Structure formats: structure tokens, C-alpha cells
A and B are shown apart, each in its own frame.
Chain A
């Protein structure tokens, strides 16, 4: 958690490998391996995933086709179209996304909430080892927020080895996600940390 502009998103994008975020000092280790020199796609294939704060739209690329290709890349496989359709529809159902969305252009003309659903959908499909959720709750209505919390908790339960790094401005969202550790970010550094009880303490007013 932290103020706008404190560097949360920059940190997230740096971990994923955004080339516009230049690492001047230090390394990034993932599963014991230094991944600093790896490209974003190589990092993704190791199981690092970022749910973007503002995911872009890609005209002319259907959700179905996009997700199928991404799935194949992530797991270095070629999934049967029928199998993929079943898998996709199952996850779409779980996130209350209507099937027609599968054949619309990715994020093109989607509302803020719909775009966030696309991010969450990819989390479920790609089963990353590290899931960074950058303000996945922003712009969601109350019902959607509830659905998101439930889906993430369910995913966590089914994939206990996945580590989550959630960026949020919303204390109650963070509480509902049952964060194990809370870090407060300011000016590019972690200024204080604590366990889940930390969220109820007065220093959170800092946000």
C-alpha cells in the first residue's frame, strides 16, 4: 500500500520486466534464480504474472484467440481447441463473464470492470507462481469486489504454492484478502511493514 506515485506500479512492472523501468542497482531473484536479464516473456513462462492496473485493448484480436495463445505459451503446449473452450468457459462462468465476450476483441470497448475481469480470468487460466495484482479492485462495484475476493481466495486455496503481491488503496479489500504481510511504500521504498493486524492500526492513516 502507499500513496499515488510512491512507486508501487513501477516495482510491479520492474519485476515483470518492463524495459522502460531501468534497474540501476540490485538483482531480482525468483525461485533462487537471478531473472534480471530475462525478457518479459521468459519471466512469464517461469510463472510470473502481473494483473495490469490499466490493461490495454487489442483490436482485431479476440479474447478467445488471445487467451488460447497465451495459454499455449505459458505452458509450452498446444491445447486442443475443444479442451481450451471448456476450460475457458468454466473460468468465465466462475467470474460471471458472458460467453459472448470470448469472441469480442480483447478489451476493446470493455468497461473498467470488464477489463479487470479479463485480468482475473488470466490469473485463473495461467496459474502463476507469483501473481502481482495491481489495483485489481479499483473501479469495481460492491458485488464485483465481493466476487473478486471470493475468486482470489478460492484460487489461493486450490493453488497454495502461488504467492500473491497485491497493490491496493483499499484497506478493507486488503483485509478481506487476508494478507499475511503488509508493506507501506513511500518514495520508492518500504517504510514500514507488519502482519495482518497492522491494517487496523493507526499508522495506516499514512495512506
Chain B
């Protein structure tokens, strides 16, 4: 790719056009990208949240991955990364992918079989570029309707440069039994950067979408900025699970939003590990009567990291209910902020919401704060909010040790207990990996 060689170049219009041309996109998408670029240029950098001074989003080397950074085989992957994977017990095939090896993924066959199953049900599950090419009508109907380019500066950047991500359409009444896992086609290392995911669950359908993995992704890019949009139509159920573990130099600035129509349910299950700085607040707009939203998240912040995350729920219709559970772990001087919003519009009679955000500090250098916001325009709303910041409880540790458990095991039990509300929402294999990851993290 000619773009790769011009490292000093600044982000510009020509690059956006080239990207769109390369992907053979229809004219409306090229225009959309260019318009988004204009918006991106006009919007100021966010003045709140994490410290973004170290990030120059116009510097194209921040997001165009130099070709020499991929490894062509497992043997070439640095020892340190290999060891981390070994200790996590990540399956070999997955390890290669995660380390950025561009080789064929071994589970190709498995994937093909699953794909056939989905197709028989009429499910469309593909990467977003293919989605646009092959299902343009439906793609266009929903794309950027929930997160518009002018939503925020990084949504604009994603809109201009998006590439990859998933396109998922579940037809009316179809229940997808197994969680759909997105990493099957993520075999080009650069793709995870500006992914654009679009999920449409037709009336009465249900689906669980799982993305990411608990093992660290060694991406050389310093900026990750994704946009995820979910439309849960009448009585549909969508659960979206992400676990991300970025290397410690990444700015992770993500916009995730869902709209729930009448009787629909949306759940975000969101785990954030690694990264230098994260800004991520999954949002659910409860647009239809009696729709439900739930956001369960966990963030682990370690040395030099700032996790600024939380959740937003907008109650825009009567009898809507929501629930946010946020668990944050800070260690070795890590910093975490819970930032949340519960908004109840005037029309939302009898809305119910409960928020619980807890932070656990593993040492005295770490810190956590909570910035919850309540905006209630209808007096019939029932809102509960609980927040806590605590340190590792010495009495609990002494108690566990007095029962014969070694200190690191005792710590792991307390910490795993703390995030249990999150872990029990995960598919089994992820839950196991998360527990192992936490044990590793707190042993360091």
C-alpha cells in the first residue's frame, strides 16, 4: 500500500478518498467519509476525561501501521509476548492471531461450518466492508443513524477512516443460540483500529455478540477508535460482550451506543484491560415502551494508565428500566474514573434505574473517582445509586490466610469476588480466562 511509505504525511482528504476507492465504495460512502473528516477537523479535542496531550490524531503514523511490524510466523513473535500467552493458556491458533501473525487462522473450517448455520437462519454476519458491498440497502438504512459523525471528535475520525468491524443482521424472530464471536476474520493486524460495527436485531430476534479476547493484543498502533451501533427493534434482545486488553501505549477512545425499541432489551458487557488511556461509555437509548437496558463493566487500571469509563442510559419512553454495574480495579498507581449518566426524559413515566459503581484500590498509589450524573425530568422515576471506593480489606485477607490460603491466593479470591458480578455474565471460556488474567495481574 502506497500509504504506508509516507510516514510523515498528515491526515488529509486525499487519503480518505484513496481509502474509499480502494474499498470500491459507493459514492455516498465516500461523501460520508469526507464530510466526517471535515467535522473531525472542526471539532476541538475533548477537554475532559483522560489526558490526550500525547496524542496527535493528525499524525498518520499513529494509525497507519508500518508493514514491518507484522510477524510472518509464530517463531518471530518476541519472547515476552509468547510467554504472556503461554501463562494465560491461550490456545495456539488464537495466540498467533493475537500476536499479529498474518498466517491463516486454523479454525477456518470451524468458522465455515458455523457460517453455514447462520446463513440457513438468514443471519448476516460478516465484516462491515463486505456488509456494505453485499447488503447496501439495509446497511445504509442503519449506518450512522445512532452515532452520527458529529457526535464527538473520535466518532468523526472513525467515520472518516472506518475499516473492518462487524456487520450483523438477525432476521425477525430468529434466535441465535451460540454467541457470535467476532475475532474469526480479524486476521489482518491493522484492522482492529477504526472498526465500525453495526448490529441490527429485527423484531423478536435475539443474539449474543462477543468481541475481543482476554489476551493482550500487541498492536503497534497508538490509537484505537471504534464505533459500535446497535438497533434492537421491537422485543429484540441483544447482548454485546467485549473484552479488550490493549498494550500499554494505546489510546482507546470508543463510542458505543444502542437504541432499544418497544419491549427490546440491550446489554453491554464490557471489560477494559490495558491501554494507556481509555474513554468508553457504552450508551443505551431506551426509545420504546418497556424497553430494558443493562451495562456491566469492569476496568483494570495499572501503572501509567487511566481508565475513564462508565455507562449512559437515556430513558425516553414510559416503563423503561435500566441497570448499571461498574467495577474498577486500580493497582500500581493506576487511575480510574467512573463517568455515568442516567437521563430520564419528561415522557418517560415510571422509569426505573439502579446504578452501582465500585472501585477497589490494591495499593496506596492508585486512585479512583466517580462522576455520576443524574438528569431526571419526570418525577415518577425511581432511581437508585450506590458508589464505593475501598482498598483491599486487610481483615478479609487475614481471614482467608488463617484458613490456609497463601497471600496471593487470598488476594485473588477477594479481587475475583469483587468483579464476580461482571465475570458471571461472560461465556464460560471467557470467565475462566478473566479469572486467570486477574490472578496474573495482581501477582505482578
B402 and A16 contact, CB distance less than 8 A: yes
Residues of A within 8 A of B421 (CB): 60
The answer to whether A40 has its CB under 8 Å from any CB of chain B is: yes
A interface residues, Cβ below 8 angstroms from B: 16-20, 39-41, 43-45, 49-50, 52, 55-56, 58-61, 66, 69-70, 73-74, 105, 122, 126
Residue in B394, B400, B403, B406 whose beta carbon sits within 8 Å of that of A20 in the complex? B394
Asked if B404 contacts A60 (CB within 8 A), the reply is no
Q: Is B398 an interface residue (CB 8 A)?
A: yes
Does the CB pair A73–B404 fall under 8 Å?
Answer: yes
Does B114 touch A at the CB level, under 8 Å? Answer: no
Instruction: Report whether B404 and A41 are in contact in the complex, using a CB–CB cutoff of 8 Å.
Output: yes
Contact, CB under 8 Å: A74 / B404? yes
The distance in angstroms between the C-alpha atoms of A50 and B413, with both chains bound, is 20
Instruction: Known A-B contacts: A52-B399, A60-B421, A69-B413. Give 7 more (CB < 8 A).
Output: A20-B394, A39-B401, A56-B395, A59-B417, A60-B417, A61-B414, A61-B420
Q: Give the total number of A-B pairs whose CB atoms are below 8 A apart.
A: 73
Cβ A44 vs Cβ B403 within 8 A:
yes
Contact between chains at A41 and B413 (CB < 8 Å): no
* Cα(A105)–Cα(B398), bound, Å: 18
B: number of interface residues (CB 8 Å)? 24
Closest chain B residue to A76, Cβ basis: B404
| Binary contact track B401-431/A, C-beta < 8 Å → 1, others 0 | 1111111011001101111110000000000
Task: Please measure, in the bound complex, the distance between the C-alpha atom of A69 and the C-alpha atom of B420, giving whole angstroms.
Answer: 17
Selected contact of B393 from candidates A44, A52, A56, A70, CB within 8 Å = A56
CA of A52 to CA of B398 in the docked complex: distance in angstroms?
A: 11
Q: How far is the CB of B360 from chain A (nearest CB, A)?
A: 10
Residue pair B405, A59 in contact (C-beta under 8 Å):
no
CB<8 Å pairs between A and B, sample of 10: A18-B398, A41-B401, A41-B407, A58-B413, A58-B417, A60-B417, A61-B414, A69-B413, A70-B403, A105-B417
Nearest CB on B from A58, distance (A): 5
Interface centre among A17, A20, A58 (most CB of B within 10 A): A58
Q: Which residue of B lies closest to A106 (CB)?
A: B417
Q: Which residues of B contact A41 (CB under 8 A)?
A: 401-407, 410
> Is there an interface contact between A60 and B419, defined as CB atoms closer than 8 Å?
yes
Q: Are A58 and B414 touching (Cβ within 8 A)?
A: yes
